[in-house]
Amino acid sequence: MSFYDDASLIMYPSGYKEDKIYSLKPTDGSGDLTFTRASTATRVNAEGLIETSPVNLILQSNTFSNAVWDNIGSSETSGQAGYDGTANAWSLIENSSTSNHLIRNFPSVYGQVTLSVYAKAGSRNFVYLRGVQSSTNVIAWFNLSTGTVGTVQTNGTAQIESVGNGWYRCSLTVANFQSPFELYVGLSNADNLTTYAGNGTGNIFIQDFQYVLGTTAKPYFPTTDRLNIPRIDYTGGGCGKLLLEPQRTNLVLYSEQLDNAAWTKVTGTTVTANQAVSPDGYQNADLITFSQANTEIRQTISGLTAVTSTASIYLKAPVGQEGGTVLFGYANANQQTVTLTSEWQRVIVTQTNAFNNNVYIGNYSSQTATSVLAWGFQVELNASYPTSYIPTVASSVTRLADAAFKTGISSLIGQTQGTIFFEVNFLNPEPMFLFSMVGTDWLTDSIYFELANSTNYIAVSSVKNSVGVGSATSTIAPTANSRYKIAVQYSGTAFNLYVNGTKITGTRSANALCSKLYLNQLGTLSSTKNNLQTKFKEVVTFTTALSDAECIALTTI
């Protein structure tokens, strides 16, 4: 028998979709967490690569009647039997005009991309995928009666894969398209044909469109507005953890395109685009060459003087130039000499009172020519540490704050006695609320974990009817990027905190407990605490108080 046999709620960040994190227990959905972040964001995936979350870059991936999809010579009907056993497929139906018969979308992310859709023959046997930029077309036809790729035009790469019951996943890779970009899903009555006289009833079936960066049709991820997607992060390897961060803005323009005119190149500096595979796995890292000493590439960002900000970038040595050095940071303020290696490293510089608004990479620590590979330049204002990478192009980009919460599950949390356990990595330990079980609000009825002000010691407190009735504060101040297993055990006057196998005895008023408890939020906010920047591996609640020995065993690393 394990501890978890008695648990009332278990959350591992392994199952998720838009707006939701699934609980492992209970299995009826009553323990699932609502997740919000009204923006996209990046994470480190299981392969160790930085990727946008969600990986599917298209809006409304299976709502073809939505306004983000245009109809040209066609209509669509929902509720059709799909490849996955659902009734979520669509019939794409041609009208009676002599024209194209298709649906069209205008994505906002470009580059080398792969389009894919699940399709099945109806009264028509051909589906085609098409990418268009200006006068350039990449198009591929797929024969849904034979399961074969037909004609492919303009250097596209196409694949077709059977998924059973007459359904196929059809994919087309398009190389290095930029804005403005259009994509199409069309039906036809023959190979290598787009325009024909429709009969008003001819159709095929389609389901689950996906648009991803790269040359592979990745596992399908459904989208609506592409917002509120939990990030399961694999930084450092091992099991994925739920990444929760505060709102931040990358002020740098063209964070990956250092050859753009937004970057000033001092005489003797040249930038050659797309010379190496970057931390996102694509050939989009730029080579900066300094032909002499006292040269640099820089960008002027307003508002950096006399405030705290953090600059970061990924740097790497070109092949054969390991051991070279460059200078990175703020002009006339904080800089760091970087020794280049054969592996990508994220270099971070924080400044509190810069004299000007320039951030740069330069060749000031070397008196000879040198080169560096660079990708992912970021500057965050009012920030003493960096957060996950935020890509930009022509304007700054804001990633909004993450939050995960669940209301109305007091039955899963002990009201008179209980144990609350979670495992966490602190990305940047500073005063913050970590995790709370809240009734009406945290000042009225709650049990909440925090890093205490000034000391950053891990602590837990309990409030009832706006009065503090229990607390336990450790002398453990966590270090960044380290594992911590934390629990509180409460029953009667017992109120004990456990951190990595160490018990900290607390105090509690006799029989005083919150009048109501339910899970409110991972990472609550207040005027005296910073937003959360933490990765949660698991959260478990018990409606009984585990023994000291069990709590010590549960929290031992």
The H or E element that residue 548 is part of is helix 548-555
Provide the percentage of residues in the chain whose pLDDT is more than 70: 97
DSSP 133-161: ETTEEEEEEEETTTTEEEEEETT-EEEEE
Is pLDDT above 50 for 348? yes
Question: What is the average per-residue pLDDT within 122-148?
Answer: 93
Cα angle value 425/430/432 (rounded, 5°): 85
Tens digit of each residue's pLDDT (9 = 90 or more) over 139-187: 999 999 999 999 999 888 999 999 999 999 999 998 777 667 789 999 9
pLDDT at 306: 85
Strand partners, 466: none
DSSP 91-149: EEEE-SSEE--EEEE--S--EEEEEEEEEEESSS-EEEEEEEETTEEEEEEEETTTTEE
**Is 411 or 532 the better-scoring residue by pLDDT?**
411
Local confidence band at 15 (pLDDT 50, 70, 90 cut-offs): confident
pLDDT at 477: 93
DSSP three-state, residue 3: helix
**Is 118 or 443 the better-scoring residue by pLDDT?**
118
Question: What is the average per-residue pLDDT within 361-381?
Answer: 91
Tens digit of each residue's pLDDT (9 = 90 or more) over 67-84: 999 999 999 999 999 999
pLDDT at 527: 46
Local confidence band at 442 (pLDDT 50, 70, 90 cut-offs): confident
Range from 11-25, 80-94, 518-532 that averages highest in pLDDT:
80-94
Of 91, 116, 95, 124, which is closest to residue 171 (Cα–Cα)? 116
pLDDT at 523: 61
Cα angle value 127/133/137 (rounded, 5°): 45
Cα angle value 396/398/400 (rounded, 5°): 180
Of 365, 392, 395, which is closest to residue 377 (Cα–Cα)? 392
Residues contacting 113, CB < 8 A, separation 6+: 57, 107, 131, 173, 174, 177, 211, 212, 213, 214
Domains and CATH numbers, the chain: 3-46+403-555 (2.60.120.200), 70-213 (2.60.120.260), 249-396 (2.60.120.260)
pLDDT at 109: 76
Average pLDDT, the chain: 91
pLDDT at 129: 97
Of 392, 433, 118, 151, which is closest to residue 254 (Cα–Cα)? 392
pLDDT at 287: 98
Tens digit of each residue's pLDDT (9 = 90 or more) over 377-392: 999 998 888 999 999 9
Task: Tell whether omega for the bond before 180 is within 30 degrees of 0, i.e. cis.
Answer: yes
Q: Cα dihedral angle (540, 544, 549, 551), rounded to 10 degrees?
A: 30
As a whole number of angstroms, the longest Cα–Cα distance in the chain is 83
Q: How far is CA 507 from the centre of its chain?
A: 40
pLDDT at 176: 72
Q: Contact at 8 Å (CB) between 232 and 522? A: no
Q: How far apart are CA 193 and CA 170, in angstroms?
A: 17
Question: What is the average per-residue pLDDT within 444-451?
Answer: 88
Strand partners, 310: 350, 380
pLDDT at 339: 96
* pTM of this structure: 0.87
- Chain position carrying tokens 């009065």: 467
Q: How far apart are CA 462 and CA 413, in angstroms?
A: 14
Q: How far apart are CA 420 and CA 543, in angstroms?
A: 9
Q: How far apart are CA 504 and CA 469, in angstroms?
A: 17
DSSP 209-270: EEEEESSS-PPP---SSS-S---EE-TTSSS-EEEE---EEE--SSSS-TTSTTSEE-TTEE
Is pLDDT above 50 for 497? yes
Of 226, 144, 223, which is closest to residue 187 (Cα–Cα)? 144
Q: Contact at 8 Å (CB) between 528 and 453? A: yes
Provide the percentage of residues in the chain whose pLDDT is more than 90: 65
Tens digit of each residue's pLDDT (9 = 90 or more) over 234-293: 988 888 999 988 899 999 999 999 999 999 999 999 999 999 999 999 889 999 999 999
Residue 475 has, within 13 A of its CA and on its CB side, a CA count of 0
DSSP three-state, residue 281: coil
Residues contacting 5, CB < 8 A, separation 6+: none
Q: How far apart are CA 433 and CA 436, in angstroms?
A: 8
Tens digit of each residue's pLDDT (9 = 90 or more) over 514-549: 777 777 777 655 545 555 678 899 999 999 999 999
Tens digit of each residue's pLDDT (9 = 90 or more) over 288-327: 999 999 999 999 998 888 889 999 999 999 999 999 999 9
Q: How far apart are CA 517 and CA 441, in angstroms?
A: 10
Tens digit of each residue's pLDDT (9 = 90 or more) over 187-208: 999 999 999 999 999 999 999 9
Q: How far apart are CA 35 and CA 536, in angstroms?
A: 13
Local confidence band at 344 (pLDDT 50, 70, 90 cut-offs): very high
Is pLDDT above 90 for 485? yes
